[in-house]
Amino acid sequence: MSLPNIGGEHVDGLFVPPFPDPHPKKSSLFWRFVRGWNSWIHVLFQKSYTMKMGEIRTPGLHMYIANELSLVKRIMGDWRGFPKHHLLVRTLGPAIGNSVFSANGDDWATQREMINPAFQQAALGRTFPMMRDAADALAARIRALDLSRPVDVDPLMTHVAADVIFRTLFSLPLGDADARRIHDAFNWFQRHAQSASMLRFYRLPSFGFFGRSRRAAADIHAVFAHIVQQRLDAYRVTGDSGANDILASLMAARHPTTGQPFSFSELMGQVSTIFLAGHETSASALSWALYCLAGDLKIQQAARNEVQLVAGEQPFEAEMLRRLPVLRNIFRETLRLYPPVAFMPREVSCPTQMRDKNLRPGAMIVVSPWLIQRNPEHWCCPHAFNPARFEDVENKTKIREAWLPFGAGPRICVGAGFATQEATVVLATLLRAFSLRPVPGVPPEPVSRLTLRPKRGVQLYLARR
């Protein structure tokens, strides 16, 4: 099967946004290093999209990629047998420490139980006004721009996603300077972490890349560490959390056995995970969603009509989101095409048989939403942007088994509902305020590091409505 490197064309009436042209055959050890230095998805070859299970060897790592859905279910369902891989934990350590995203075993289970209340339905209702305020602030920032010129929406989406997290975590808006600092620092963190990972895979010294990623993470932490410290100090003295936000829920959380709260370092780990994972993945999805909407004006107008019918010119309310199925499916389809976390590495903890392969302890077993969600065995016209596929009853099983942008099994992302609510209100706000058009000849290029992002941003024309 030949998969063309399409730069935003229409095929059979469907918009096909860009993706890297897969190589005709598996890369050599040398070319795998060269291509993987910048992006994991650029290493893929044609068979990667249809194989049941692949195997890759580097000097420092034995890796398998499991694409067969029965294997995916087994891996993602067994969080003890297939924990987060130690190389991923080490890579993310400077940014998020030992938190709910990186912890394993009973430690993970305890942390998950402690943070769950912050993301339950009642908490989502509490955070909705903050999301709406962040979306309105985004619209105001865009109106102040020179819209006669193309706009790079990627840093704007990073700003609004970080602003949403800042408001819901700390009950504070995020300033322009801090938003730029976070955008730049996390891009550097990903860039250096990617290089450090490739060097470890080949048993090479890190040449300072790991240290640079630590410094980039520290730059991000500096934006909010003082807020966490001040709030925690006040809470310990007065018992007053200071606000009804996610940080308050985390400070009130108690270990289910010992009754102990999070220490400052533990609290920073959870806050950093929510902040970094939450804003980075949402920003990625929002940037790609806007590009896809700009590329298909018919779907864009259908979504706008739905927003107008449900909300008119009234302020958005949480209950309105349930009546926006077109917009919700646009977000789901964007996550199918551009899953923010394209590869999910797990570690084999004991000798394991999968298909015809004997997996040894320490090997990496990867589940890839990027590959599974673009496999033609699972999805018709898998590279096309077609939100209506989520309305097709024949896709019900595939939606449950072959759509996993938030992961699957017990370790499914705790913030999935939060991200969906956030994306819906941001997209609805923008569609009501602006029309979107692509810039001819400037398609964005996806690159996959820790998250999937557009390499040089997403250039669009925005017009006030």
Whose CA is closest to 451, among 265, 269, 287?
A: 287
User: Residue 392 contacts by C-beta under 8 Å, 6 or more apart in sequence?
Assistant: none
Residue 432: CB atoms within 10 A of its CB come to: 17
DSSP class of residue 244 equals S
| β-pair type (364-367, 344-347) | antiparallel
Residue 233: CB atoms within 10 A of its CB come to: 11
Is 337 within 8 Å of 288 (Cβ atoms)? yes
Whose CA is closest to 250, among 226, 239, 233, 266?
A: 266
DSSP class of residue 45 equals B
Residue 244: CB atoms within 10 A of its CB come to: 11
Q: In whole angstroms, how far apart are CA 442 and each of 8, 152, 155?
A: 9, 11, 17
CA distance 273 to 108: 13
SS3 106: helix
Residue type, 120: Q
Residue type, 291: Y
- The token pair at 258 is 């010992």
Q: Which helix (H) or strand (E) holds 382?
A: none
Is 202 within 8 Å of 59 (Cβ atoms)? yes
Q: Which helix (H) or strand (E) holds 5?
A: none
350 is known to lie in a ligand binding site: no
CA distance 97 to 92: 7
DSSP letters, 247-262, are HHHHHH---TTT-PPP
Helices first, then strands: H and E counts in the chain: 15, 13
Residues annotated within a binding site for heme: 413
- The binding site consists of 413
